[in-house]
Amino acid sequence: MTDIAPAATETAALAAIEPLEDTLKQPAVAGGPGALPPAALDARDVSAWFGGHQVLDRVTLAMPAGRVTALIGPSGCGKSTFLRTLNRMHELIPAAALAGEVLLDGEDIYGAGRRLTDARRQIGMVFQKPNPFPAMSIYDNVVAGLRLTGVRTPRRTKDDLVEESLTRAGLWKEVSSRLRQPGGALSGGQQQRLCIARALAVRPRVLLMDEPCSALDPTSTRRVEETIHELASEVTVVIVTHNMQQAARVSQQCAFFLAEQGAPGGIVEHGPTEAVFGSPQDERTADYVAGRFG
Ligand SMILES: Nc1ncnc2c1ncn2[C@@H]1O[C@H](COP(=O)(O)OP(=O)(O)OP(=O)(O)O)[C@@H](O)[C@H]1O
């Protein structure tokens, strides 16, 4: 992932967890009381620029509801940029521009009258480096959105939300007896699952993950991968990873990105993960998944 200004990342993280009040009023379905079912994301002809530098050229990709889609490809081919276009984070970067559409269950998140916060609420994001609020308690990290908006919420609702979110993130059993301890006191892998819980607390319909395990040891990586498995039927997941084995383990569908000779990035091949890894149609995909470049 190419770093963007920390302030922008933080603003986005906070924006993603802000509008909780409406979310809590939504009707109950799978994924906890108040959650809506996972949504399909459809990117259509998405192009992206940083100033005069075009980094994506007309990328089209359907990311089915309730499935895990992995984005793979060599460094600099635009995977993270593409991910950021999916919840309107790209536009936080100065001089960034975009063309194309991103449909969330058929509605363009960039459409006239669509609010940035709507997209962020429904499409959460987990970053490469775990970024809990380190001095804040585990409990308060999960309900950070409520605190930020100043919404007065009954204690019981908050307690339920914390338990539900930590359970879905696979962390509840490990932290249920120490919810008042600071988030920063957890291990790296636990911190990443805390960030997943924080993202889940606003009950998103899609969860974007940008190399969520790259800062973690193998055991923590396994645990986060299990969490992704457990979440998959409740929330649509789109994950950027450099780890081919991880892409094969966690995803049902896969897209291979490439930017050739200074050209903007695009998708060379996509489809069921088994097919992309087992019988790639394009030679460049075959070379990449076999580790011959990148
Ligand atoms: N904030 C930014 N400002 C200017 N250019 C950027 C910015 N972020 C990314 N880029 C450029 O956009 C291109 C795509 O970068 P991006 O981070 O999306 O690729 P990536 O495939 O995710 O790479 P990696 O696998 O290394 O994370 C690169 O040329 C990069 O230098």
Tell the residue nearest (CA) to atom 8 of ligand 1.
2
- Reported as a single tens digit per residue, the pLDDT across 92-141 is 899 999 999 999 999 999 998 888 888 888 899 999 999 999 999 999 99
Tell the residue nearest (CA) to atom 10 of ligand 1.
2
Residue 42 lies in a domain: yes
Residue of higher predicted confidence among 6 and 291: 291
Q: What is the pLDDT of residue 202?
A: 83
Q: What is the pLDDT of residue 157?
A: 83
What is the domain count for the chain?
1
Q: What is the pLDDT of residue 26?
A: 43
Residue 253 lies in a domain: yes
CA 191 / ligand 1 centre spacing (Å)? 25
Residue of 216, 149, 204, 142 whose CA lies nearest to 179: 142
CA distances from 29 to 1, 16, 32, 59, 186 (A): 34, 21, 7, 32, 31
CA distances from 32 to 37, 167, 223 (A): 10, 10, 21
d(CA 183, CA 185): 5
Q: What is the pLDDT of residue 66?
A: 95
Residue 294 lies in a domain: no
Q: What is the pLDDT of residue 151?
A: 53
Could you tell me the CATH number of the domain that includes residue 139?
3.40.50.300
Q: What is the pLDDT of residue 103?
A: 97
Other C-beta atoms lying within 10 Å of the C-beta of residue 80: 24
pLDDT at 200 over 70: yes
Q: Is the CB of 76 under 6 A from ligand 1?
A: yes
Residue 1 lies in a domain: no
CA 93 / ligand 1 centre spacing (Å)? 12
Confidence of residue 31 (pLDDT cuts 50, 70, 90): very low
d(CA 264, CA 73): 13
Q: Is the CB of 1 under 6 A from ligand 1?
A: yes
Q: Is the CB of 93 under 6 A from ligand 1?
A: yes
Confidence of residue 46 (pLDDT cuts 50, 70, 90): very high
Give the strand pairing for 123-126 and 206-210. parallel
Domain, as residue range, for 26: 6-289
CA 2 / ligand 1 centre spacing (Å)? 5
Confidence of residue 147 (pLDDT cuts 50, 70, 90): low
Residue 274 lies in a domain: yes
Mutate to test the pocket of ligand 1, among 3, 46, 55 (most ligand atoms within 8 A of CB): 55
pLDDT at 17 over 50: no
Q: What is the pLDDT of residue 12?
A: 47
- Reported as a single tens digit per residue, the pLDDT across 244-261 is 999 999 999 999 999 998
Q: What is the pLDDT of residue 149?
A: 45
Q: Is the CB of 75 under 6 A from ligand 1?
A: yes
Confidence of residue 278 (pLDDT cuts 50, 70, 90): very high
Rg of the chain taking only CA atoms, in angstroms = 18
* Angle, CA 226 vertex, CA 223 and CA 231 arms, to 5°: 130
3-state secondary structure the chain: CCCCCHHHHHHHHHHHHCCHHHHHCCCCCCCCCCCCCCCCEEEEEEEEEECCEEEEEEEEEEECCCCEEEEECCCCCCHHHHHHHCCCCHHHCCCEEEEEEEEECCEECCCCCCCHHHHHHHEEEECCCCCCCCCCEHHHHHCHHHHHHCCCCCHHHHHHHHHHHHHHCCCHHHHCCCCCCEHHHCCHHHHHHHHHHHHHCCCCCEEEEECCCCCCCHHHHHHHHHHHHHHCCCCEEEEECCCHHHHHHHCCEEEEEECCCCCCEEEEEEEEHHHHHHCCCCHHHHHHHCCCCC
- Reported as a single tens digit per residue, the pLDDT across 153-195 is 677 788 999 999 999 999 999 999 999 999 999 999 999 999 9
Q: Is the CB of 71 under 6 A from ligand 1?
A: no
d(CA 294, CA 232): 28
Counting residues of the chain whose pLDDT is more than 70, the rounded percentage is 85
- Reported as a single tens digit per residue, the pLDDT across 52-89 is 999 999 999 999 999 999 999 999 999 999 999 999 99
Residue 57 lies in a domain: yes
Q: Is the CB of 241 under 6 A from ligand 1?
A: no
Confidence of residue 25 (pLDDT cuts 50, 70, 90): very low
What mean pLDDT is predicted for residues 215-234?
90
Q: What is the pLDDT of residue 34?
A: 57
Q: What is the pLDDT of residue 110?
A: 95
Residue 221 lies in a domain: yes
Residue of higher predicted confidence among 36 and 11: 36
Residue of 170, 187, 174 whose CA lies nearest to 228: 170
Phi-psi region of 161 (alpha: psi -120 to 50; beta: other; left: phi over 0): alpha
